[in-house]
Amino acid sequence: MTVDHFLADVGALAARLPTGQAAVNLCEDRYAFLVAFTALLVRGQTNLLPPSRAAHAVDAVLAAHPGSYALGDAALDPAPPQYLRFTTDVETSSPNAPALIAGELPAAIGYTSGSTGVPRANPKHWEKLAISSGHNDALLRALAGGDYHVVATVPPQHMYGLEFSVLLPLFGHAAIHAGRPFFAADIAAALADLPEPRILVTTPVHLRALLDANQSLPVFSGIVSATAPLPPELARDAEARFGAPVQEVFGSTETCVIAHRRTAQVDAWTPYRGVTLHPQPDGTRVDGPQLLQPTVLADIIELDGGGCFRLRGRNTDLLEIAGKRASLGDLTHKLLAVPGVRDGVVFQMDETDCMGVRRIAALAVAPGLDACAILDALRCEIDPVFLPRPLKLVDALPRSEAGKLPHAALLSAMGS
């Protein structure tokens, strides 16, 4: 799409938008999402980005913003109230005026995934998104050696997807594939659609699936991964197979991306320029030019003295049973390290036992193994008080579109 065509599509849609302060952007095509995103900004309206496109999540966000509506590029059944469907098919023969957007405009409100509870709203101002996009653009330009072309497997509604597959063309010399490929062959075809240098923006789940599929891929310059911890061995396998460096990025809906690392080689994170982290008893305070105000994350970090940091768990993940301590993140890492376990998670149930302790449970994807074999392997690595009971084998973890594991979905999978 040329700039003129894009501006014509934005202008045509902006003229159709109803009066309001905000709208849920449900577009599936990435270009349509970008058009809707920008048209809302031109009208001075805010993009609402629910934690998923499930009807209950969309309805909850609409209810939290009276007078808001939804728009998208697909026929939905059932459709949300006041749903506006549009297509991007404007033909233009003359240049359009640039779209002017106020820097202080709350451009988007992103919602946390609900992995640790109820999704929370996080407003993002346009001028702050410009700063964080500059950081992300610099990271990808370093991977590509200049201008670059992105294929992304993550949805645009997720903050990671918004940062790395929607905003970049607005702030830098980047081109983004409009699709959202899922299967390995689809990813290969999308990459082949683009010229070099190519960047793949993805998740650990998709990266593992690509390796398992043994799919032949076009040459690309780098891989970016987020939404879940990337095991170092997976990063090393991907670099060896695809001949491209893997950059894992660290951030949150509250902060956007704030740090990166080459996980195959180092375990310390390098903060983006201007970002500082301050360990606190309840987590970590983050300061940075892309933040409206300092933000406290639940992550526990350790500074290394050289400006980098290491993650040591989350305050919500820390367990203390019978005077002993562990973290759910570390227990999950040990579960994933069991030979034959392809995916898995350790978490706490809501109900308590007779001693008032919330039970530790696990879900695992491990074709060819049984629960007893996995527990036997874990006994060599984990104190008996932290062994997950129950441990249930499933065909797939209940991940969201962005690869997250909402707590409610884990409880449902364990009880089903």
Q: What DSSP designation does 18 have?
A: P
pLDDT in tens, 384-414: 888 998 999 999 999 887 778 888 889 999 8
The span from the CA of 286 to the CA of 291, in Å, is 9
pLDDT in tens, 85-136: 998 876 655 556 677 788 888 999 998 866 555 678 899 999 999 999 999 9
Neighbours of 281 (CB within 10 A): 6
Residue pair 183/206 in contact (Cβ under 8 Å)? The answer is no
The pLDDT of residue 92 is 59
Q: 126: buried, middle or exposed (CB in 10 Å: 19+, 13-18, 0-12)?
A: middle
Residue pair 151/201 in contact (Cβ under 8 Å)? The answer is yes
Per-residue pLDDT at 355 exceeds 60: no
The span from the CA of 14 to the CA of 67, in Å, is 17
Q: What DSSP designation does 233 have?
A: H
Q: Is residue 72 helix, strand or coil? A: strand
The span from the CA of 33 to the CA of 212, in Å, is 31
Average pLDDT value for residue range 176-200 = 95
The span from the CA of 266 to the CA of 304, in Å, is 13
For 210-338, list the strands marked E by DSSP: 222-225, 246-252, 256-261, 270-271, 276-280, 283-287, 295-297, 299-303, 309-314, 318-321, 324-327
pLDDT in tens, 12-54: 999 999 999 999 999 999 999 999 999 999 999 999 998 888 8
Average pLDDT value for residue range 149-172 = 93
pLDDT in tens, 259-268: 999 999 999 9
- Buried/exposed code over 211-232 (b: 16+ C-beta within 10 A; e: otherwise): beeeeebeebbbbbbbbbbbbb
The pLDDT of residue 136 is 97
Q: Is residue 167 helix, strand or coil? A: coil
Number of helical (H) and strand (E) elements in the chain, helices listed first:
12, 23
The span from the CA of 257 to the CA of 249, in Å, is 7
The pLDDT of residue 117 is 57
Average pLDDT value for residue range 276-285 = 90
Per-residue pLDDT at 234 exceeds 60: yes
The span from the CA of 105 to the CA of 127, in Å, is 8
Average pLDDT value for residue range 305-330 = 79
The pLDDT of residue 95 is 58
- Report the relative pairing of strands 198-202 and 222-225 from DSSP bridges: parallel
The sign of the dihedral angle between the CA atoms of 161, 166, 167, 171 is positive
Closest listed residue to residue 267, CA positions, set 315, 317, 299, 233: 233
